[in-house]
Chains A and B, each alone.
Chain A
Amino acid sequence: MGRWMRWAGRALVYGALVAGSVVMLLPLAWMTSAAFKPLYEVMRIPPTWIPQEPTLENFRAVFAQFPFGRYFLNSLITATGITLSVVLTSAMAGYALAKFDFPGRNFLFLLILSSLMIPFQTRMIALYQVAISLRLQDTLLGVMFPWLVDAFGIFLMRQFMLTIPSDLIDAARIDGASEARIFWTIMLPLVRPALAALAIFTFLGAWEEFLWPLIITSSDASRTIPVGLQFFSEQYGTNIHWQMAGALIAALPMLAVFFLLQRQIIEGIALTGMKG
């Protein structure tokens, strides 16, 4: 009896997990399927999951009307720039806060920590004014601008560097190593896992950012993939088959990164709680 109950329970758990998996994959599956169908088949009822008349025409149409290469390049440049800036500034500031005793340290740390409570959406109107006065509207630097420093990144690096024994640094100092050298050749390699997590999540966050590029970009010269895709859909609202092809192309790079770095990403979230 007890054994039978246990097997029934397990079957139930498997059933629920499989049903959940279907829901989790439904949008992506539908997007993929529709991307290879002509419009009339996309609208067909009952829906066909395997395209009956498969076509690559949608992708041709998308590439003809949607400067995906440009958007991809813009996304790549801005996300890389943001990541480099955040990793470098966070590591440097985190190092100073963790391993130096200097006047104003606690004040600065508290200031940075409490700024975490201020959401970007509260600052965005003022940020827009700053960006306009720096003539950053519709430029790639403008797209990067609000994300070049990250208070959470500074906090994260400080926490990790606190766990590194100071003896290592003191020993290097006695050996005559310069502070810059200590930072670069001793400290950074020791916190590499935290640096990698910060870099991955900063890059993904920048790649996905939608609201700020929507505000600051106004031409294809600076549109990133998310806003480019939205712009494309506003222009071709009724062409679902093109939209799905565009959406699939736009979704692929991040999914590819996920399958390559799956372990680092999932462990990184557990480690830092980042990415919401």
Chain B
Amino acid sequence: MARWVVLPVQGVRGIRWSRRLRAWVWAYGFMAPALVLFGLIVLYPSLEAFRLSLYQWSVFAPKRFVGLANYQRMVHDPLFWTSLRVTLIWTVGVVPCVMVLGLATAIALNQPWLLGRGIFRTIYFVPVMTSIVASAFAWRWLFEPTFGVVNWMLRQLEVSDPPGWLASTTWALPALMIAGIWKQIGYAMVLFLAGLQTIPRELREAAEIDGAGPWQAFRHVTLPLLNPTVVFVAVILVINAFRVFSIPYVMTSGGFTYLTPGGPLNSTRVFVLHIYDLAWKQFDFGYGAANAMVLLLMVMTVTLIQLRILQRPFEY
């Protein structure tokens, strides 16, 4: 009430300013909790991570500025290249499989004649909602060379010498990747289903009336219209692949054979496991921070590529 009493006295300009000032104060009031936490949790640690990467700092040596020495060391560190290679293999193997299987499932579930759509959708989504550590446990035992179900099935299929999976430097990574693919198909499927449902059925039907077969209709009508979804899913999956940690860590440690995480012989040392190992097993924080900068570079590159693609108008 009091606010309106003083109105005539203040003059139009004064009111406008005081009102605007009030709005600013309120706006910053609403922003304040987020900004304080953002500064503490996101902004400062991001800058500090970069600063740390220029320091040598481990439990064995006092913290001192070394400039780019950590980065030089990285270039000559075979473990850095190993973990980079493992992560790239993971990305190149997992992302296309999840995309193709997720899209195929979504298309199948989008068929108007399909019965039991809801049940299938639930089943395919169950892996996404199964605790990642628990499912890694289950996969670890499914891939057990002697007693595991996977090798039992392979023997039923007359494979005389099934792989040693987690005990083998060749087969451990593929075993983890299978678990990684299994975990994410449902997620891709849900996003593709949402994308497919925005495409008017008439468009496909029109194409088929014009004599296009189902494959041609998919190739020339559905896929181009689904393009933004495809790019979005691909980017999310690539970034997930760069940051993968839980499945490799759990499946290669604490098991029957007491493997070390990232083993055997670093054949599953994904990049985040590499950073974790440097910082919390070798207490080499500065060097770990320099390696973490490479991860930042990888994620930023993919994000910027996505922005470029999605801003470009699509030609149908």
Partner-B contacts on A (CB < 8 A): 10, 13, 16-17, 20-21, 23-28, 30-31, 34, 42-47, 85, 88-90, 92-93, 95-97, 100-103, 105, 108, 111-112, 115-130, 145-146, 148-149, 151, 154, 176, 179, 183, 204, 208, 210-211, 214-215, 225-226, 229-230, 233-234, 237-238, 240, 243-244, 247-248, 250-251, 254-255, 257-258, 262, 265-266, 269-270, 273, 275-276
Known A-B contacts A102-B28, A254-B130; the reply to A17 vs B138 at CB < 8 A is no
Evaluate contact between A247 and B30: CB separation under 8 angstroms.
no
Complex-state Cα separation, A151 to B43, whole angstroms: 11
Cβ of B171 < 8 Å from any Cβ of A? Answer: no
> Could you tell me which B residues sit within 8 Å of A by CB distance?
1, 23-24, 26-28, 30-31, 33-35, 37-38, 40-46, 48-49, 52, 101, 104-105, 108-109, 111, 113-114, 120-135, 137-139, 141-142, 147, 149, 152, 182, 184-187, 190-191, 193-194, 232, 236-237, 239-240, 242-243, 245-246, 249-250, 253-256, 258, 272, 275-276, 279-280, 285, 288-289, 292-293, 295-296, 299-300, 303
The reply to whether B138 and A27 contact each other, CB–CB distance below 8 Å, is: yes
Q: List A contacts of B245 (CB < 8 A).
A: 121, 210-211
User: Is A101's CB under 8 angstroms from B132's CB?
Assistant: no
How many A-B pairs have beta carbons closer than 8 Å: the answer is 275
Our pick among B123, B250, B292 for the contact of A124 (Cβ within 8 Å) is B292
* Listed residue (B27, B104, B280) with the most chain A CB atoms within 10 angstroms of its CB: B27
Across the interface, A226 reaches (CB within 8 A) one of B45, B132, B184, B186, namely: B132
Asked if A121 and B131 sit within 8 Å, CB to CB, the answer is: no
Residue of B40, B138, B299 touching A247 (CB-CB under 8 A): B138
A125, B285: Cα distance in complex, Å? 7
Q: Give Cα A127 to B52, complex, Å.
A: 12
Across the interface, do B133 and A250 meet the contact criterion of CB distance under 8 Å?
yes
Q: How far is the CA of A269 from the CA of B121 in the complex (A)?
A: 13
Least CB separation from A128: chain B residue: B279
Complex CA distance for A248 and B141, rounded to whole angstroms: 14
Q: Is the CB of B149 within 8 A of A26?
A: yes
CB nearest neighbor in A for B275: A121
Asked whether A251 lies within 8 Å of B142 as measured between CB atoms, the reply is no
Cβ-defined contact, A149 with B41, below 8 A: yes
Nearest Cβ on chain B to A109's Cβ, whole angstroms: 10
Q: A119-B239, A208-B132 are in contact. Are A101 and B23 (CB under 8 A)?
A: yes
Contact B34 A154 (CB under 8 A): yes
When the two chains form their complex, are residues B48 and A92 in contact, meaning their CB atoms are under 8 A apart? no
B141 touches A34 (CB 8 A): yes
Q: Given A90-B34, A255-B126 in contact, is the A276-B236 Cβ separation under 8 Å? A: yes
Does B41 contact A269, Cβ atoms closer than 8 Å?
no
Contacts of A46 in B (CB 8 A): 152
Chain A residue at minimum C-beta to C-beta distance from B280: A215
CB pair B124 A21 closer than 8 Å = yes
B272 and A27: CB pair below 8 A? no
A residues in contact with B41, CB < 8 Å: 127, 145-146, 148-149
Instruction: Known A30-B141, A122-B49, A124-B292; judge A93-B243 contact (CB<8 A).
Output: no
Q: Is the CB of A118 within 8 A of B182?
A: no
**Nearest-neighbor residue (CB-CB) of B304 within chain A:** A117
8 Å CB contact of B52 from A13, A21, A102, A125? A125
Contact B296 A119 (CB under 8 A): yes
Q: By the criterion CB–CB under 8 Å, are B296 and A208 in contact?
A: no
Q: How far is the CB of B147 from chain A (nearest CB, A)?
A: 5
Q: Which of A16, A92, A128, A276 contacts B187 (CB 8 A)?
A: A276
Contact present for B31 and A96 (CB under 8 Å): yes
Bound complex: CA A64 to CA B149 (Å): 29
Query: Are A243 and B37 in contact, with the CB atoms below 8 A?
Result: no
Taking the closest CB of chain B, its distance from the CB of A119, in whole angstroms, is 5
Are the C-beta atoms of A251 and B135 separated by less than 8 Å?
Answer: yes
Residue of B nearest to A115 (CB): B42
Query: Please, which residues of chain A bring their CB within 8 A of the CB of B24?
Result: 100, 102-103
B209 to chain A, nearest CB (A): 15
A172 to B89, CA, bound (A): 57
If A100-B23, A149-B34, A149-B42 touch, whether A230 touches B254 (CB-CB below 8 Å) is: yes
A31 is contacted by which of B128, B138, B187 (Cβ under 8 Å)? B138
A275 neighbours in B (Cβ, 8 Å): 128, 187
Tell me which residues across on chain A come within 8 A of B250, comparing CB atoms.
210, 230, 233
Q: How far is the CA of A85 from the CA of B300 in the complex (A)?
A: 27
